[in-house]
């Protein structure tokens, strides 16, 4: 009796072990297959645009996610350089499309949304030390408010190689606004920056990454040349310039590994063709 029970028990265990083994094998095959496929298939052509907000150690609880600590940010910049990346601005990319700029072999665009004051105090010196460039997208009604960049800082940043773009006047998701309001947000933010002595504004970042099929045309009408989304992927000369792919870089939980994984995510999304915006030929 005891023996039977024991046999019954051990056979149950062996069945479970077999099932677990089978599952593990399946998982290994899947992961292995994906890795092999990525290694074998040609690497998709294109370059990443990275989405940042703040570079600072301390941040209020509701903004913590958006703040990359200084040491980790330095590590990310140094990693990009060690991998042979060269930073370009969006304007340079748009010039390259018209044959008026030669893109480096391995480009990357660094972008910063909202216009926080650490972009001047912390980010700018770190970029200059490394000979790197970036694009900063301003919410024009926040300029000069506590915690945000001032007009003087913006004029100085521009002189020192930063491209300034618009992130609207009020940071409302444009898809929720009436047509006239949308137009105002695009037009007035651009004009305000230009009236305050900044260069012509050509690039744009959608608040909350929210866009619809009418917004690219509205941006074109308002004389913008490029706009970035929050859809991860790589960009090339065929990417819709008003729906550029951009991969988010929030405060890392797993150090530089997470950063490498996010770069890989951009490549993977392009490989899989998920939310990729190729312009109609």
Residues lying near Zn ion in the complex (CB under 5 A) are found at 113-114
What is the gyration radius of the CA atoms in the chain, in angstroms?
A: 23
Between residues 207 and 216, which has the closer beta carbon with respect to Zn ion? 207
Between residues 93 and 137, which has the closer beta carbon with respect to Zn ion? 137
Which sign does the torsion angle of CA 135, 141, 145, 147 carry?
A: negative
- Packing angle between helix 255-272 and helix 2-40, nearest 10 degrees? 70
Beta-sheet strands, E only, within the chain: 49-52, 54-55, 67-68, 86-87, 107-114, 135-138, 163-166, 203-205, 226-228, 247-248
Between residues 113 and 118, which has the closer beta carbon with respect to Zn ion? 113
Read off the DSSP letter of residue 116. B
Find the shortest distance in angstroms from Cβ 217 to Zn ion: 22
Between residues 114 and 118, which has the closer beta carbon with respect to Zn ion? 114
Give dist(CA 204, CA 224) in Å, integer. 7
Find the shortest distance in angstroms from Cβ 31 to Zn ion: 35
Find the shortest distance in angstroms from Cβ 169 to Zn ion: 12
Between residues 133 and 246, which has the closer beta carbon with respect to Zn ion? 246
Find the shortest distance in angstroms from Cβ 84 to Zn ion: 30
Between residues 244 and 270, which has the closer beta carbon with respect to Zn ion? 244
Find the shortest distance in angstroms from Cβ 250 to Zn ion: 13
Instruction: Name the residue number minimizing CB distance to Zn ion.
Output: 113
For the stretch 252-259, contacts whose Cβ atoms lie closer than 8 Å and that sit 24 or more positions apart, written own/partner, are 252/68, 252/72, 255/72, 255/75, 256/72, 256/75, 256/76, 256/79, 259/75, 259/76, 259/79
Find the shortest distance in angstroms from Cβ 52 to Zn ion: 11
CB neighbour list of residue 54: distance below 8 Å, 6 or more residues apart: 63, 66, 67, 68, 116, 118, 119
User: Is residue 269 within 8 Å of residue 277, measured between CB atoms?
Assistant: no
């Amino acid at each position: 009796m005891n023996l039977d029970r024991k046999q019954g028990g051990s056979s149950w265990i062996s069945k479970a072990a077999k099932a677990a083994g089978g599952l593990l094998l399946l998982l290994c095959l899947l992961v292995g297959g994906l890795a092999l496929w990525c290694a074998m298939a040609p690497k998709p052509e294109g370059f990443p645009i990275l989405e940042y907000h703040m570079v600072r150690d301390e941040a209020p609880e509701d903004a913590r996610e958006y703040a990359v600590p200084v040491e980790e940010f330095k590590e990310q910049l140094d990693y990009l350089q060690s991998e042979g990346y060269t930073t370009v601005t969006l304007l340079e990319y748009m010039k390259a499309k018209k044959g008026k700029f030669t893109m480096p072999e391995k480009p990357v665009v660094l972008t910063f949304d909202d216009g926080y004051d650490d972009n001047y105090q912390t980010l700018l010196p770190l970029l200059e030390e490394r000979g790197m460039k970036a694009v900063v997208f301003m919410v024009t009604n926040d300029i000069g408010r506590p915690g945000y960049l001032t007009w003087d800082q913006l004029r100085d940043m521009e002189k020192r190689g930063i491209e300034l773009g618009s992130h609207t006047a009020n940071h409302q998701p444009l898809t929720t606004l009436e047509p006239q309001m949308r137009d105002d947000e695009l037009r007035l933010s651009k004009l305000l920056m230009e009236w305050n002595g900044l260069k012509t504004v050509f690039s744009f970042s959608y608040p909350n990454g929210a866009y619809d099929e009418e917004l690219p045309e509205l941006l074109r009408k308002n004389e913008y040349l490029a706009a970035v989304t929050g859809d991860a992927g790589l960009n090339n000369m065929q990417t819709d310039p008003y729906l550029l792919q951009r991969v988010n870089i929030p405060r890392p939980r797993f150090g530089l590994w997470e950063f490498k994984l996010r770069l890989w995510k951009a490549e993977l999304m392009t490989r899989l063709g998920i939310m990729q915006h190729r312009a109609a030929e």
